[in-house]
């Protein structure tokens, strides 16, 4: 799910918006039990009642998030440190890099995590040559291989 905010916002507001929209989506799917993982300690500690929400801009977000949380039979908010949140950070980076029209329909993509590092999967051989052979030839000679369409 991708959401683009069309107003001035802080990082904390963006985090609240993402969390709230995730809960709204879960409500739409009639989810009863939910575990929320968030890398913002501020949101987790505020929603769990461990920290007060003092920033006037965040108070309405905190109230709305708390009211949404009550719609679930069971909900747990867990803090994920940023170093353990690399996959979400990568998706966020892709989102920022992608320009979409407002209300554009985008097909979902399926992402599968690899069990091995990517260098272990790079031994792809085509016609007895490594997958990067054509690229290497082009870089070395600044020309396409014979018979290739330019």
User: pLDDT tens, 82-99?
Assistant: 778 777 777 767 766 677
Q: Is 143 contained in some domain?
A: yes
The Cα-based distances of 14 to 41, 50, 91 in angstroms read 14, 21, 15
What is the domain range of residue 131?
116-150
Least confident of 48-52, 108-112, 125-129: 108-112
Residue 2 lies in a domain: no
The answer to whether residues 77 and 40 belong to one domain is yes
Q: What's the confidence (pLDDT) of residue 150?
A: 45
Whether residue 66 is predicted with pLDDT greater than 90 in this model: the reply is yes
The answer, yes or no, to whether residue 67 has pLDDT greater than 60, is: yes
Same domain, yes or no: 30 and 77? yes
pLDDT at 68: 95
Higher per-residue pLDDT: 121 or 97: 97
Is the model's pLDDT at 59 over the cut of 90? yes
Q: Verify that 17 and 67 share a domain, yes or no.
A: yes
In this structure, is residue 21 part of a structural domain?
Answer: yes
Say yes or no to pLDDT of 114 above 80: no
Q: Are residues 66 and 19 in the same domain?
A: yes
By 3-state DSSP, what share of the chain in percent is helix, strand and coil, each rounded to 5?
45, 10, 45
Q: Determine, yes or no, domain membership for 102.
A: no
Residue 52 has pLDDT above 90, yes or no: yes
Q: Rounded distance, CA 72 to CA 75, Å?
A: 6
Could you give the number of structural domains in the chain?
2
pTM equals: 0.59
């Amino acid at each position: 799910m991708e959401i683009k905010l069309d107003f001035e916002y802080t990082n904390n507001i963006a985090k609240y918006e993402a969390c709230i929209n995730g809960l709204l989506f879960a409500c739409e799917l009639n989810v009863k039990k939910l575990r929320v993982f968030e890398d913002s300690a501020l949101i987790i500690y505020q929603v769990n009642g461990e920290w007060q929400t003092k920033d006037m801009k965040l108070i309405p977000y905190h109230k709305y998030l708390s009211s949404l949380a009550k719609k679930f039979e069971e909900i747990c908010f867990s803090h994920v440190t940023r170093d353990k949140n690399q996959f979400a950070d990568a998706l966020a980076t892709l989102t920022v890099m992608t320009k979409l029209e407002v209300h554009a329909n985008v097909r979902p993509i399926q992402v599968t995590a690899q069990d091995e590092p990517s260098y272990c999967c790079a031994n792809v051989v085509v016609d007895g040559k490594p997958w990067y052979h054509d690229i290497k030839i082009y870089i070395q000679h600044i020309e396409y291989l014979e018979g290739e369409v330019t």
